[in-house]
Amino acid sequence: MNLVLLGAPGSGKGTQAEKLSQKLNLFYLQTGELSREWAKTDKRIRNIINGGKLIPEKEMTNYVMKYLEKRVPKGTNILFEGFPRFISQYEEYEKWLASKRQKIDAVVSLDISEKEAVKRLSGRRICEKCGEVYNVITNPPKESGKCDKCKGKLIQRDDDRPEAIKVRFRYYRNNTKKLIDYLDNKEKLIRVDAVRPINVIYLEILEKLGVKNG
Ligand SMILES: [Zn+2]
């Protein structure tokens, strides 16, 4: 099964993606991670990301397609998070899968309001050393400001600051929203209310995918 997970910033798609890819044995691809990796060696990309902006549509598509070709083992089923964001990217990805005799089996959209997302994102902290993610409201560390795992310092990522969040949301509204509407019309979309406990959302997704839990 090839899955795509969509959702506004702060909808918790990373958490669900991890659980689902483990459960369903999928190759987990996260474009946020890919872009940050890319940013390490490319200053222009780094500036785009630190400003909370998205890498231009076509460039991102090319980068992802190359990555898929080079790094994803043949015949693997993929869970994609953060890509595709545009209708054009969706179509490119579909084409790539078709060339491997595969298809996108389901697209899950995690729905959240902007107000709720901003509240969640501004609480997000990340460990400087190991990258573990916390939230001062929903998932605080045992000791304030320190990572439970490695005692590293917890910091706020630049793109989780309020100004950057606003920009990310504007991009989401202008682009991914169009993709969601497009898929809604094709009846390819599973919509889930993302403002509920993690496990409730997870179980609902499994149920809607027709996967038995246990
Ligand atoms: Zn840590």
Nearest one of 30, 31, 44, 50 to 164, comparing CA atoms: 50
pLDDT in tens, 147-199: 999 999 999 988 788 888 888 888 788 888 889 889 988 878 999 999 999 99
Domain residues for 132?
123-160
68 with 8, same domain: the answer is yes
Residue 44 annotated as part of some ligand binding site: no
Ligand 1 centroid, distance to 194 Cα (angstroms)? 27
- 81-120: pLDDT as tens digits: 989 989 999 999 999 999 999 999 999 999 998 888 888 8
Rounded to the nearest 10°, the torsion over CA 163, 32, 169, 20 is -130
- The answer to whether residues 45 and 150 belong to one domain is no
- Same structural domain for residues 33 and 97? yes
In a domain, 83, yes or no: yes
- Is 54 assigned to a binding site? yes
Distances (CA, A) of 166 to 6, 48, 113, 150: 18, 15, 13, 32
pLDDT value at 214 more than 70: no
Strand partners, 126: 133, 155
One domain, residues 149 and 167: no
Task: Note whether 78 and 150 are same-domain residues.
Answer: no
In a domain, 138, yes or no: yes
The whole-angstrom separation of Cα 44 and Cα 32 is 16
* Pair 10, 68 in one domain: yes
Whether residue 179 sits in one domain with residue 145: no
How far, in Å, is the centroid of ligand 1 from the Cα of 154?
8
The alpha carbon of 144 and the centre of ligand 1 are apart by a number of angstroms equal to 13
Q: Tell me, yes or no, whether 85 and 74 share the same domain.
A: yes
CA of 123 relative to ligand 1 center, distance in Å: 17
Q: Does residue 214 fall inside a structural domain?
A: no
Co-location of 105 and 177 in the same domain: yes
What pTM does this model have?
0.81
161 Cα to the center of ligand 1, angstroms: 20
The total number of structural domains in the chain stands at: 2
Compute the distance from residue 46 Cα to the ligand 1 centre, in Å. 23
In Å, how far are 8, 142, 158, 206 from 52, measured between CA atoms?
Answer: 13, 29, 8, 32
CA of 142 relative to ligand 1 center, distance in Å: 12
**Could you give phi then psi for residue 119, rounded to 5 degrees?**
-60, -45
Q: Based on the domain organization, do 42 and 138 belong to the same domain? A: no
Could you tell me the CATH number of the domain that includes residue 22?
Answer: 3.40.50.300
DSSP 8-state class, residue 44: H
